[in-house]
Amino acid sequence: DDIGIEISGVCSFLFWPYALTHNDPERRAKGEELAAKMIDATHWLGIENLLVVPGAVWAPWMPEYDPVPNDVCERRAIEALRRLIPKAEKSGVYLNLENIFANGFLFSPQEMVAFADSFQSPHVQIHFDTGNIMHYQFPEHWVPILGKRIRNIHFKEWDKRMQEFNLHTFRTLLDGTTNWPAVISELEKINYRGYLTFEYFHPFSHYPEALIYQTSDALDWMLGRKS
């Protein structure tokens, strides 16, 4: 409050080792317990948005992850979220479901919309990640389908020219193949007025603070503040 910075949302990597759809029932239960604590923490911090990873058929960056059948994954995710929704509604917290790359679950905007809408709760919305669908798809095609359900956004760059499929394929903003003018245009059409948060996994080896200035400059160009 003292410096005038508002936090756009809360997220946690704990949704991976304790996935809501994990084959280990103890891990699933722990994941649900942690998600409930995340709702409390979000509320206590005076924040409205909690990023939720609803589940995963597979997590290729976790060799120990035991694959979950698609229908089982969906059923477990639905059951867990239905138990969490009343707490979120009472706390005034939005459970924003994120689209994840390579997890085998909710791989199309139509699937994501149907899944989110099935809960019939205004507190289940979507945290859209532009880079997580860039390997085979295009974020500007997702935006009009997700529409007003988008509550928060990760701006993440991806390079379709790269042959690898791993975290190193994500790039700094504008150093990839995302059609940012098209993405921004589609966001304007749905009158999106929420946060745009840059997400990146690889700090610079030298002068890491330079990434802050590079990101700020890129966002200024993308949002029409520079020309």
**Cβ contact 20:69 at 8 Å:** no
pTM: 0.95
Domains of the chain: 13-222 (3.20.20.150)
Judged on CB neighbours under 10 Å (0-12, 13-18, 19+), 77 is buried
Residues 6+ apart with CB under 8 A from 178: 130, 131, 134, 139, 157, 158
Q: Give pLDDT tens digits for 30-39.
A: 999 999 999 9
Q: How do residues 184-216 score in pLDDT, each as one tens digit?
A: 999 999 999 999 999 998 889 999 999 999 999
Average pLDDT over residues 149-168: 89
Distance from the first to the final alpha carbon of the chain? 33
